[in-house]
Structure 1
Amino acid sequence: MPTFRMLLLGLLATSPLAAQEPIRFGRTPDISPDGKTVVFSYLGDIYAVESVGGVARALTTHPAHDMNPAFSPDGRNVAFSSNRYGSYDVFVVPTRGGRPRRLTFDSASDMVCGWTPDGSAILFASLRSPAFPSNFELYSIPLEGGRVTRIGAPEAKDGAFSPRGNLLAYVRGPGAWYRKNYRGSSNDDLWIANADGSNSRRLTDFNGQDHSPMWSPDGSTLYYVSECAGTANVVRQSVTNGSKPTPLTNHTDESVRRARISHNGETIVYECGLDLWVVGTKDGDKPRKLAIEVNADDKANNQRVTMFTRGMTEFALTADEKFVAFSLQGKLFRAPVGSSTAKTVQMTTGAWMDHGINWSPDASKIVFLSDRSGHEDIYLLEANDLDHPKLTEAHTFKVTRLTDTKEPESGVSFSPDGKKIAFLRGGKLFTMNPDGKELKEVIKDVQVFDYEWSPDSRWFVYARRDGSFASELYMVPVGGPTPSDPIRNITRHATFNAGVTWSQNGKKIAFVGERRGTSNMIHVLELEKPAGPGPSSSAGTPAVGTRAPLAIDFEDIHQRVTSLRAFGDVATISPDGSKVAFRDPSTRDLFIVTTTGGSLTRITTGGLMPRQIVWSKRRSIVGPSIELIYFLDAEGNLRLLNPAGGEAKPGTAVPSLPWKARLTVDMQELHQEMFDQAWRYLNDHFYDDKHHGSNWDDVRRRYRPVVPHVAMKEDLYALLYLMMGELNASHLGVTGTPTLPDEQTAELGLIWDERYRGNGLKVAEVLKRGPADHKGSAIKAGDFVVSIDGTDLTPSENVSKLLNGKVGETVVLQVTDNPSDPKAKRRRVELIGATRANIAERMYDRWVARNASRVSELSKGKLGYIHIPSMDEEGLDRFVRSLYSDNYDKDAIVLDVRFNGGGFTHDQVLNYLGSREHTVFKMRDGGSGLVLRSNDRKWHKPLALLINNRSYSDAEIFPNAFKTLGLGKVVGEPTGGFVIGTSALRLVDGSMFRIPRIGVYTLNGVNMDKKGVDPDVLVVPHPDQIAKGQDAQLDKAVEVLSADVNVWKQKRTKRD
């Protein structure tokens, strides 16, 4: 019996044998060389169990998350990935147990794939390269640690070396591991290359998922997971050209995911559904589900007591601003404003999500939303404390349910006079009394999504969508429309208008809207006509609690909208109506602008990301002439500032209001609530009420019982992704903050020659505008960097380890022309370490510049090139700037939306394209074609458009429109078919959960989330071309467009 086998048996024999329920959701398994032992991830640790099932034994026990275990070829070690230092790194642990040893140190995640056949190195996938386009690539790290080597297979995300080590089977593509039954160009396929990644050839061309390559011992057959027969199963296929796969398993109800084969080729372990299975590779072998027991203690207390000083998800102030109520992890708390010593009181408990809080004007009640009944309803919170009857002083509380419907409510708020509660349900606006009685449907509509009370409690202003998804603002009496006071459209501009707020003096309304193709513009509407000549009124902002009826002049009210030329995605107007505070989407900071369209002032720096902005309504709190703004930042800090301080200087701190909240969290209850929330959000809001044909109730029945088998957020997220995958839809996801702080690996802006294998690192290129691109650096291509901060760069040194923690810090390099000559002169060079994101931007600029140069070279300067990186304001600005500054004098332009993740600016881009010439302007000595305003110059010459399988969302709507409008030929490969309008909601722990809400269809009724846009000229790039820096798609676009230019010129000649 092999030694490692004896060691494993000894370990397993010492495990407790108390019978218990078999585990569910063991993940990322591997199997020992002899097929007798399975290792897998469970509860965030690595476990080992016999391949027939039984009691498992932990190989790792750590608070971090461990996954992707892989046996070494001799069975003595297990490599795995762990996020012990923030991102996932490669570790190795002896099979018999012990302290794991860390091998990689980069701040990108390194995911173990397997080993080299001789066991000398570990193969892993990583996104560590800042190159553009950003892709997973394969790397190897020696078992003893040291320098990482990149395998030259482009876009490889998983792989396995052949038994002889001369070939590499790898997975290429942007496919989603969790998505079921996707068919399209953004799938994963298998390729076979030389061990260094060169000379690739495609093994599979099925347009669904093919992954998890596994070699037979003789190297003649590849086993892998494929959806080619419908449901994902393990198949096998000869590696010779022209062969076809045959099934090894035949699961029909659940899909197979990750699979791994034993070194002797006799057994495969795999994930299927929510369990682990094994199957023999001999004909007739039947799959077996493993019954595994884990008798493990909790790695951390299930009941966790935490003291929070940040993490609010929302807040609400009492009218006198002396108290704040806030939601923290789904519980409601009360605290005095600004006191660092007074006690914070928890007002609600339970494993559910309480949110949407709003105080009554007299601070005796709080109305809020909660899913404690299983769906979102409205509840009332009041004091239940004889000794402290005021809600602001009470320590015990009572909660009363006000609504009981399966349809979720939202947007609940008291009227300013406290007599009514308003809310939204099913796109309709309702009111009721504070006791839940006298329910009234104010507007018989189904497209209301935003509203605001008037300060006198007599009117609603609300945003309503029409059938084209445009939205307008309307006004209606609180009691509903009447013949004398009907519903009135107060904007009459059918684009986008929402985010409405009403000044406390009742004279102005501010909102966010789209005008002239520009979104997120701040607007103000005057509710009264401007006063004529004569003495002005001295009336200011009425005191809280006093209110005369508002005077609203509806005649031509829509003509009193002023565009402030300021752009924000969250905005609120000051009490006196003189200013608007808003979040700028580009800087993610807080600005104010006067409502006359005058001064614009940035009042925070550092990208604080305000997500709730409230003007103080009582200046007397601090002083009669002091204005204050409360806001919640991205980390859940409640901040308070005085905007009168003027323009914020870089590094200016905004004080946080102190508070502390002690919260006991039951982790199992928290995870259960997060799952229930996620399922319900998709049940209530997914754009297709048939859920793409999935039985959504059955999905809940299958996945919900697995939640108790989850101990860590990483595994819960994986479970949620699997649930989402049942929808076969795009734009789904869940994200949260890292559980541990990360080490940031600095970048130097040097591109290395990866063919060099000696001491030091050879510089292939100095990146423009990078840290080394300055007069004093004295580094050039061909130089060798032989030490970093005094450590010589031998092959045993890990470069990422030396650069960790050096972002923004001085890094000292020793540079030479000849590293092999000890007498060669060394130069000292000091650089400032840059973030990987910064270098990624420079690499993107490099990619664009190279493409533009290539187009110019092939066309002899006649064609231009524009890449649009994203369909948002930044991408639009890049497009317009390049159109007018670099390309307007060209005969034609190659437009490129490859690697564009989307947005919503397709119409703005189209607005600049495809215009027909109709007028020529001339002036004396001025030539012809003069147009007074550059933004009126529309492109009217030939175009070609490049697309690929990573053109997503609005970068698919755009090429569909490009083809439909006949603007030119489309070159490349089909887009991914990832087109849905999406939004995000917050889970109880603060995680953000994406929800597809809007379907997008072609004029022929084709759902664009199921079908990508096909090019007119198909060009699929080969990995070998990519590795050599060749761009076959770009070259073809130049060829096609040059021919179109010739035809266009001939037509112009005939016309002229």
Structure 2
Amino acid sequence: PGVADRYPIWSPEGDQIAWFSDQIGEYQLVLSDQRGEIQRRISIPNNKFYFVPDWSPDGSHIAFTDTDYNIWIVDVNNGTADKIDTDRYAHPNRTMNPQWSPDSKWISYEKQLDSHFKAVFVHNVVNKATHQITDGMADATTPVWDAGGEYLYLLGSTNYGLTSGWLDMSSYDPDVTRSLYAIVLSSQGKAPIMPKSDEESESSKKSDEDKDEAVTVRIDVEGIYDRLIPLKLDNDNYLGLERGPKGTIFIAQENDGPGVTLLKYDVDKEKSETFAEGVATRSISADRKHIVFGKNGTWNLSETNGSKAGKETLKTDLKIKLDPQAEYHQIFKEGWRYMRDFLYVDNVHGAPWDQVYEWYAPWIDHVRHRTDLNYVVDIMSGEVAIGHSYVSGGDMPDIDRVPVGLLGCEIEQVSGSYRIKKIYTGERWNPNLYAPLGLPGMNVKEGDYILSINGKDLRAPTNPYSLLENTAGREIYMEVSPYSSMTGVKEIMVKPIQSERGLRTVDWVESNRRKVDELSDGKLAYVYVPNTGNGGFTSFNRYYFAQQDKKGVIIDERNNGGGSAADYMIDVMARQHFGYFNSKAGDKRPWTTPIAGIWGPKVMLINERAGSGGDLLPYMFKAAGLGPLVGTRTWGGLVGTWDTPRFIDGGRMVAPRGGFFDVDGNWAVEGDGVAPDIEVIQEPKLVLEGRDPQLEKGVEEALRLLQIKEFIMKPEPAPPVRWKRPAGWDKNE
């Protein structure tokens, strides 16, 4: 009880199991027999968190990585641990996972280069030599060894490009595709796709069957870049490779549904076929003869020599007895270690971290509920004085929630009756929104009274939502009338929804857009950026480019929830106008070059609830000189939230990664925020009156700037005369 055991792996012979355990308070590598009874513990020189072990085929070594992106190799016989290599960047995807060669003399792995592209490396455990074996001109991933030790198979992408900027919004749109390659390891080796006659193929097949199982891997580094060959497989969105029996590879392919499609590729036939679909996780046995994979909450065990996965489902109805108090202590200690090991700097912001543990550890004896534990862990992490140190989730009791239906409207009580004050329509061009009362033909309007719901009279003090319990997504009947009496009553059928958030948000956005249009006499565009993730990317593209005919733009990033670094938005707004191409239609209004853009003044609205990526966006906007910031200082939380592992019960704590510092080499924004050029407070009195002082000031400032630098489209000039002939060409000789 109270121990985290992670990343179990079978020995190649199947007689031992290894895993990482924190039973002594720090993680160690543990080896045991199949029953877990004969245990041996190996300490790693650094006390960290460890990931994804791989056991060498001869059983002598185990390779894995740690918190700080180091590869370690442990000699199972003598317990020594050697640090082999370190990834170039702390990328959250952690793809530098070592894989053993069939003869146990080499590991292969992908490693990031200074260019952010990845190359394949190999390390020899005998002579300790490390070599890069792909040239870095394509992004090379997931190298796996051929069973015969002659080749390394890998995926490579030449359109990885902008995706290398994984934190940047500019990486969103490009689709990365990859192709399948093989590296011929020996300078004397032959490509696996050499032309063969039918006789040669059959002879080769019999020869392979007669070969001794012993494999020796020979890697000749000289000229190895040129021994990379493409294998016949359509370029597609492949995510990774898994080893297979000799001459075969398993390929994970992205699909539209849950999990991945697992393809089985025959190298000799240069052909792939679907082995399994919807695969969530997978593992290949050391002898490459079996594969186990998770799918739809079940586990499947199949032989790898078949063309398709079998239907055998493993019975895994496992239960474990927990000691909640012991588990709470382990989770608390783990959270303390996470801040120590995963935080973006090593000094824990100066907090006396050992003492902090002593301060709060006694509290855990008094924790009686998982939410109590989150509270204590949150307070402890608060000692670091950093944003994004979120704590949430965990093994909570199951609660039966009642889905209350919502009508997509605001209801007010008038003299004991309930009147519809406002109906949310979903506005226009929002296919994901459904407005229950906003449909044409619904025959209900603002000011109407709701007299009954599903045959039950509705009058105060009855809460109208009590009559809407369990109605979300189901048809109900309501009686409505222009009066609070039965005069003019009519019955309508309505399908309530579970959430009105989307309806209310788009109503607010569109109301702001109309307000800006009204205040500016149609001169200014309004663009709302709710976050710097996919939602913000979509909203920016939708509203910015649809209003390219405007003279200027108000960018509203108030309440921005963050996400990525919104470089894409800055790039678009900073575009320079270079000229025109004429358009021979109508009044000959030309195209600008570039075509897409708003060339007039830009003003950004900010507030104290915009943070993270919502801090960085106005920071970049200001640094790029795009225009003034109007509103209040942003939150000041510019660190990353990636990479911290989950607690043993699935709970979450964030030890922030990736702190931001400026071009002068000084830490910036975190704990400080971004100050406006023009401070405007949202005075409650004015807001309650339906006004938006920040929006109004933004429009006023944009109109002022418009008087100074209005963009005026140039008309098409007179047609050029470029026809020429020598003088006297029209005279007869």
TM-score (norm 1): 0.55
Q: Provide the C-alpha distance between the structure 1 equivalents of 2:177 and 2:378, rounded to a whole number of angstroms.
A: 37
Please tell me whether the aligned partners of residues 920 and 928 of structure 1 are also in contact (alpha carbons under 8 angstroms): no
Is residue 748 from structure 1 mapped to residue 406 from structure 2 by the alignment? Answer: yes
Match of 1:453 in 2: 99
Is residue 906 from structure 1 mapped to residue 575 from structure 2 by the alignment? Answer: no
**TM alignment of 1:714-863, pairs within 5 A:** 714-736=371-393, 738-754=396-412, 756-768=414-426, 769-775=434-440, 777-819=442-484, 821-822=485-486, 824-836=487-499, 839-863=500-524
Q: Provide the C-alpha distance between the structure 2 equivalents of 1:372 and 1:482, rounded to a whole number of angstroms.
A: 32
Is residue 1025 from structure 1 mapped to residue 666 from structure 2 by the alignment? Answer: no
Match of 1:896 in 2: 556
DSSP-derived class of the 1:995 partner: coil
Summarize the Cα distance change of 1:682–1:771 in structure 2 as closer, same or farther, 3 Å threshold: same
Summarize the Cα distance change of 1:960–1:360 in structure 2 as closer, same or farther, 3 Å threshold: same
DSSP-derived class of the 2:371 partner: helix
Is residue 372 from structure 1 mapped to residue 23 from structure 2 by the alignment? Answer: yes
State the one-letter code of the partner of 1:372. Answer: Q
DSSP-derived class of the 2:362 partner: helix
DSSP-derived class of the 1:786 partner: strand
Greater share of strand: 1
Summarize the Cα distance change of 1:716–1:982 in structure 2 as closer, same or farther, 3 Å threshold: same
State the one-letter code of the partner of 1:667. Answer: P
**TM alignment of 1:159-308, pairs within 5 A:** none
**TM alignment of 1:915-930, pairs within 5 A:** 915-922=575-582, 930=591
Please tell me whether the aligned partners of residues 424 and 437 of structure 2 are also in contact (alpha carbons under 8 angstroms): yes
Among candidates 150, 171, 195, match of residue 518 of structure 1: 171
Among candidates 389, 405, 408, match of residue 48 of structure 2: 408
Summarize the Cα distance change of 1:845–1:766 in structure 2 as closer, same or farther, 3 Å threshold: closer
Please tell me whether the aligned partners of residues 55 and 100 of structure 2 are also in contact (alpha carbons under 8 angstroms): no
Match of 2:187 in 1: none
Summarize the Cα distance change of 1:612–1:545 in structure 2 as closer, same or farther, 3 Å threshold: farther
Post-superposition shift, 1:475? 1.0
The aligned length equals 652
Summarize the Cα distance change of 1:892–1:710 in structure 2 as closer, same or farther, 3 Å threshold: same
Match of 2:543 in 1: 882
Post-superposition shift, 1:361? 2.1
Measured on the aligned residues, the alpha-carbon RMSD in Å equals: 4.2
State the one-letter code of the partner of 1:491. Answer: G
DSSP-derived class of the 2:572 partner: coil
Match of 2:84 in 1: 442
State the one-letter code of the partner of 1:368. Answer: W
State the one-letter code of the partner of 1:518. Answer: S
Match of 1:972 in 2: 631
Q: Provide the C-alpha distance between the structure 1 equivalents of 2:41 and 2:509, rounded to a whole number of angstroms.
A: 58
Is residue 953 from structure 1 mapped to residue 625 from structure 2 by the alignment? Answer: no
Summarize the Cα distance change of 1:407–1:618 in structure 2 as closer, same or farther, 3 Å threshold: closer
Structure 1, unaligned stretches of length 5 or more? Answer: 1-349, 383-390, 605-609, 622-627, 643-653
Post-superposition shift, 1:498? 9.2
DSSP-derived class of the 2:98 partner: strand
Among candidates 99, 118, 121, match of residue 475 of structure 1: 121
Post-superposition shift, 1:755? 5.8
Summarize the Cα distance change of 1:1043–1:931 in structure 2 as closer, same or farther, 3 Å threshold: closer
Summarize the Cα distance change of 1:868–1:817 in structure 2 as closer, same or farther, 3 Å threshold: same
Summarize the Cα distance change of 1:762–1:428 in structure 2 as closer, same or farther, 3 Å threshold: closer
Post-superposition shift, 1:461? 1.5
Match of 1:999 in 2: 659
Q: Provide the C-alpha distance between the structure 2 equivalents of 1:601 and 1:845, rounded to a whole number of angstroms.
A: 44
Match of 2:153 in 1: 508
Match of 1:487 in 2: 132
State the one-letter code of the partner of 1:760. Answer: Y
Match of 1:354 in 2: 5
State the one-letter code of the partner of 2:473. Answer: G
Match of 2:721 in 1: none
Summarize the Cα distance change of 1:675–1:557 in structure 2 as closer, same or farther, 3 Å threshold: farther
Post-superposition shift, 1:911? 2.6
Match of 1:676 in 2: 333
Q: Provide the C-alpha distance between the structure 2 equivalents of 1:988 and 1:771, rounded to a whole number of angstroms.
A: 43
DSSP-derived class of the 2:76 partner: coil
Greater share of helix: 2
Match of 1:689 in 2: 346
**Greater mean alpha carbon deviation, residues 824-833 or residues 654-663:** 654-663
Q: Report % sequence identity.
A: 21
Summarize the Cα distance change of 1:1052–1:810 in structure 2 as closer, same or farther, 3 Å threshold: closer
Post-superposition shift, 1:421? 0.8
State the one-letter code of the partner of 2:544. Answer: L
Please tell me whether the aligned partners of residues 766 and 781 of structure 1 are also in contact (alpha carbons under 8 angstroms): no
Q: Provide the C-alpha distance between the structure 1 equivalents of 2:140 and 2:615, rounded to a whole number of angstroms.
A: 26
| Per-residue CA distance 1:914-954 (angstroms, 9 max, x = gap) | 1222353346669575589x9x8455443221211111111
**TM alignment of 1:8-19, pairs within 5 A:** none
Is residue 870 from structure 1 mapped to residue 506 from structure 2 by the alignment? Answer: no
Summarize the Cα distance change of 1:749–1:481 in structure 2 as closer, same or farther, 3 Å threshold: farther
Q: Provide the C-alpha distance between the structure 1 equivalents of 2:213 and 2:645, rounded to a whole number of angstroms.
A: 34
Structure 2, unaligned stretches of length 5 or more? Answer: 163-169, 185-190, 303-310, 427-433, 718-733
Q: Provide the C-alpha distance between the structure 2 equivalents of 1:957 and 1:1034, rounded to a whole number of angstroms.
A: 21
Summarize the Cα distance change of 1:917–1:380 in structure 2 as closer, same or farther, 3 Å threshold: same
Please tell me whether the aligned partners of residues 475 and 490 of structure 1 are also in contact (alpha carbons under 8 angstroms): no
Post-superposition shift, 1:451? 2.0
DSSP-derived class of the 1:368 partner: strand
Please tell me whether the aligned partners of residues 87 and 111 of structure 2 are also in contact (alpha carbons under 8 angstroms): no
Match of 1:397 in 2: 37
Match of 2:649 in 1: 989
Q: Provide the C-alpha distance between the structure 2 equivalents of 1:641 and 1:1028, rounded to a whole number of angstroms.
A: 66
DSSP-derived class of the 1:1007 partner: coil
Summarize the Cα distance change of 1:572–1:1008 in structure 2 as closer, same or farther, 3 Å threshold: farther
State the one-letter code of the partner of 1:721. Answer: D
Post-superposition shift, 1:849? 1.4
Summarize the Cα distance change of 1:740–1:428 in structure 2 as closer, same or farther, 3 Å threshold: closer
DSSP-derived class of the 1:460 partner: strand
Is residue 659 from structure 1 mapped to residue 316 from structure 2 by the alignment? Answer: yes
State the one-letter code of the partner of 1:424. Answer: T
DSSP-derived class of the 1:864 partner: strand
Q: Provide the C-alpha distance between the structure 2 equivalents of 1:858 and 1:490, rounded to a whole number of angstroms.
A: 58
DSSP-derived class of the 1:664 partner: coil
| Per-residue CA distance 1:862-908 (angstroms, 9 max, x = gap) | 22122122212342233223333x12222222222222211114122
Post-superposition shift, 1:966? 0.7
Q: Provide the C-alpha distance between the structure 2 equivalents of 1:511 and 1:805, rounded to a whole number of angstroms.
A: 51
Post-superposition shift, 1:571? 5.4
| Per-residue CA distance 1:211-233 (angstroms, 9 max, x = gap) | xxxxxxxxxxxxxxxxxxxxxxx
Please tell me whether the aligned partners of residues 969 and 1016 of structure 1 are also in contact (alpha carbons under 8 angstroms): yes
Q: Provide the C-alpha distance between the structure 2 equivalents of 1:765 and 1:878, rounded to a whole number of angstroms.
A: 23
Q: Provide the C-alpha distance between the structure 2 equivalents of 1:969 and 1:599, rounded to a whole number of angstroms.
A: 57
Summarize the Cα distance change of 1:688–1:440 in structure 2 as closer, same or farther, 3 Å threshold: closer
Please tell me whether the aligned partners of residues 259 and 295 of structure 2 are also in contact (alpha carbons under 8 angstroms): no
Please tell me whether the aligned partners of residues 526 and 557 of structure 1 are also in contact (alpha carbons under 8 angstroms): no
Q: Provide the C-alpha distance between the structure 2 equivalents of 1:472 and 1:447, rounded to a whole number of angstroms.
A: 11
State the one-letter code of the partner of 2:76. Answer: P
State the one-letter code of the partner of 2:37. Answer: F
Please tell me whether the aligned partners of residues 120 and 141 of structure 2 are also in contact (alpha carbons under 8 angstroms): no
DSSP-derived class of the 2:604 partner: strand
Q: Provide the C-alpha distance between the structure 2 equivalents of 1:1017 and 1:602, rounded to a whole number of angstroms.
A: 59
Post-superposition shift, 1:430? 2.1
Post-superposition shift, 1:549? 3.9
